Structure 1
Amino acid sequence: MKKIIPWLMLAITIAVAVIRAQPPQTQPLPENLLVVRSDSLKAFVGARALFPLRGGIKGETWSIEDVLATGSRSPVGEHAPRIQIVQTDLAPKTNSPALVLRWQEGERFGTACLTQTTGLLTSPSTRFTPGLIAATDIAATMEGKPFGAGRPATLVSGNLAELKLRQATWERKAELLRFLVVAPWLFSLALLFSAWRGKSLGNPNIFGGIALVLWADLLLGSPLLERLPFSYSVTEAARFYGIGNDAAGLFIGCALAAGFEAPTLLAVALAIGAPSLGANNGCFLAALVGIAAQKVGKLPVKKRLLASLAALLGIGLLFLGLARWDVSRGAGAQTHLGQAISGERTGSLMLIGRKLAMNGHLLVSSPWSLLLLTSGILLARRRAGGDLITGGAALALNDSGVLAAATLLFPLAAQKTQSPPAQSGAGG
């Protein structure tokens, strides 16, 4: 029976990913919409959505008005196309629906209201979360086609009460995020104390339980991750769905520390990377690297080079297969990976540059670098080469790779603090 369970988990993961691959039924918005800004929405009735007001990247003077007008979160050339948002405090003098926007400095969300309609607005950018669109979607909605990084909003059923409940959840999560910066300091101190005492911080059962909870949560649509103060944050506008780098790193690290068998580890990787589940491409690759490193490290030294080359080929084929699957789902459901491959997403070099800049900034400023360094040193002392390679992949393959690598290496280091150093040449 125990041999069947890992394969059953893999089969369930694939089945759920396929079932949830197609987007929900939505209604397109009218063409040639008038986009209006108003300081009050009391005079307007219609379908609504929230959009995060966090725009641009740290250190740039890039206002929310620029984001809305260009469909980009990073500065574009002065001759780049922009849409015009009309400023008014009165209802638009038109018999056609209008998209009315309200935002105010100091608030976390702006509000969009499509007049003469009912329901909630959503978009592919937020994986069709009812009542949520990206600020970059405003320009695309006005144009009726992808514009910058945005995609046109669509209409789904729902009401204002549901939207207020979701907003309360997102606001609470944003408040809890303030306390998350303490975690890497506490974890680092715990690791050092554990290493000093020669006792492990956890065992395979604890790490396995954490991994199984995260696996089940992703398959159920992330109801837990939506409320926890890590993974994606709607208010930050960096990720609206799936699994963020910090939670994905923890997921991988716990699965490896638990000693899961290969089919279970593949289920973990697929839950992280499938576009309809975790949609985290960098951590999907890091998970595959972790599986390969675990298996290759157990082979005799003479066989490792050939096995490593075969593993790299296998990882490439699996990633290509995932990418082609994303492309096949159509432009309305594709993640950023599918858009980049199909040519729907422009500015790929700018996006890569932003990601590299963010990683560099986090390496020198984030407290998670302390946990990354602490875990890395402890694992290096145990000569856990495979674990360090996996952490390096998580660091290199993600924009906030510092978080992914730190949370990935933490459970591995926590488990091995009581282990004697491995013999020279051991794969870890």
Structure 2
Amino acid sequence: MDDVTRALEDAHRREWAFVLAATVRVAGDLDLAEECAQEAYVSALAAWQRDGVPRSPGAWLTTAARHKALDALRRASTLRRKLPLLVEPVEADATGRAADQVLDAADGGVPDDRLRLLFTCCHPALAPEAQVALTLRLVCGVPTPDVARAFLVPEATMAARITRAKKKIQGARIPYRVPAAAELPERLDSVLTVVHLLFSTGHTAPSGDALVRDDLCERAVDLARTVVALLPAEPEARGLLGLLLLTHARRHARTDPEGRLVLLEDQDRGRWDPVLVSLGLKLTAEALTAGPAPGRFALQAAIAGVHAAAPTFAGTQWDRVVGLYDRLLAVWDSPVVALNRAAAVAFLPAPDGGPEVALAAVDALAADARLAGYPYLPAARADLLRRLGRSEEAATAYSESLELTQNAAEQAFLAGRLAAVRVSGAFADRSPSIHS
């Protein structure tokens, strides 16, 4: 790979969102802006080979893309003037701007166009899967075929999903702006939720052979860093980044050399990334103390921090973990949070905890329709039954979880546990679904 190609690939990875976001401001249309940004990168290959790599590749690409957008708008304007009028002109509002103009060019003190782009992609009017797909495509610059592969759908399906999302932005006249102060908490939560969902999809892939999709995790971490850089005063943004870093720090220890799942109890903590752990703990502490009450991402980061700070699994402060889950449930009534709390209760001493107390909590959650088809509910139940010596019931629960699980690494683990309880009863390991 020559220096120009290497520089261009680096500029795509680092600058794509900035180039596209700045071009949208000129183009007034997501499709046109994306096309012009892509053309700018193509033009750069020949220009940089001829003239050398510029000192600021991002600025060069942004200027080129904006010029291409302006040229396209001029050509379109000329064409409209010269062709017969086949349709009625679009009405303009009091400012002279077209009524169907999607993009709000007012600055409003916004620090960076990338933030506008991110909030547009994560607008609550879009379906969650569309938000994630659009964020990957436009903010991260991931090609549509790669987005499709990430979510295991045909390329045509993903292309249609992205196109529909763009049309929804156009049709609903979703403004290209950062929300006003009164709107920010709700809208910021949508952005952080999309980033967290993207990371979760990579942390434990829903299907496929590999447990972890590092590419998705890295992109989610990069997005979280971007949000913190653009909104440094938002504690929940810091909390999310802290959570992702603390979780991602364990990635190398979560599987063995053959790709088999390694539970948290059995992980070699020497393989955890100490730099990510240190930074994650720092960000978490800042998020917990920055406001009157920590939000759901800061509290999840705090739970991850307790695990990261424990010298061994046995040395984990489970009372603190359970207490943090109680605080988390108070701000986020999620059955998945309640399930994780039950798993933590299993490690408390009696009479407040232990497998039997935890099993009662898990069984109570089975009636929650939101957990229907959730494979980690029967997996957690199977582990508790196994630890209580109820092997036949544990085998049934393991079988149920196995039927619902599509990731090969998790399937192999569950199949091994199922065989073990059938042969020799309960073992002492932990469930793969919780704290792994």
Normalization by structure 2: what TM-score?
A: 0.33
Normalization by structure 1: what TM-score?
A: 0.34
Q: Which has the higher contact order (CA 8 A, sep 6+)?
A: 1
The structure richer in strand per residue is 1
